[in-house]
């Protein structure tokens, strides 16, 4: 993936998580925003790569991300997406908000990068663009101190 696509995806992910989590998010709100974003991604991708494909990529993304954030590692996962998401939510909610925000963005970014290697940048962009929340209008961006 080109640096431009990589940067754009990561900015979109971070923006979506920040806006979904609210103005003063705690770890639980960020965890919920992460899972909600993940569910929207999975819904968009399942018709293309199948539920098992989505689950496999997510499991791999979680494994890769846990190298940077060891507290995300989930030993003994039974392979079900429900168990994986429940475990992820518990692990995220138990950390400091800044760590949760960073880990969530890295996790979803890793997933997007793995997906891009599988189906290409153009199809990834078309499938996931509706998931990312729009950026605030420039007037809102300028008013932020």
Q: What is the pLDDT of residues 26-69, one digit of tens each?
A: 999 999 999 999 999 999 999 999 999 999 999 999 999 999 99
**Is residue 138 one of the residues assigned to a domain?**
no
Any domain includes 143: no
- Residue 72, classed as helix, strand or coil, is helix
Assess if residue 55 is contained within a domain: yes
Task: Find the domain containing 90 and state its range.
Answer: 3-133
Q: Does residue 141 fall inside a structural domain?
A: no
Any domain includes 88: yes
User: How many structural domains does the chain have?
Assistant: 1
- Smallest CA-to-CA distance from 47 within 133, 132, 127 is with 127
Q: Tell me, what's the pLDDT at 11?
A: 86
| The predicted structure's pLDDT at residue 145 | 39
The lowest-confidence range among 81-90, 108-117, 135-144 is: 135-144
Does a structural domain hold residue 142? no
Does residue 107 fall inside a structural domain? yes
Sign of CA dihedral 127, 130, 133, 136: positive
Q: Is the pLDDT of residue 141 over 50?
A: no
**Domain assignment of residue 144, yes or no:** no
């Amino acid at each position: 993936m080109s640096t431009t696509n990589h940067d754009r995806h990561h900015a979109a992910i971070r923006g979506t998580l920040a806006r979904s989590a609210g103005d003063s998010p705690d770890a639980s709100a960020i965890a919920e925003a992460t899972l909600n974003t993940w569910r929207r991604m999975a819904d968009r991708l399942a018709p293309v790569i199948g539920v098992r494909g989505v689950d496999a990529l997510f499991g791999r993304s979680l494994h890769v991300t846990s190298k940077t954030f060891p507290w995300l590692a989930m030993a003994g996962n039974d392979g079900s997406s429900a168990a994986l998401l429940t475990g992820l939510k518990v692990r995220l909610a138990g950390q400091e908000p800044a760590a949760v925000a960073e880990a969530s963005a890295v996790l979803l970014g890793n997933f997007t990068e793995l997906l891009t290697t599988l189906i290409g940048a153009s199809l990834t962009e078309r499938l996931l663009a509706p998931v990312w929340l729009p950026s605030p209008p420039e007037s809102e961006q300028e008013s932020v101190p």
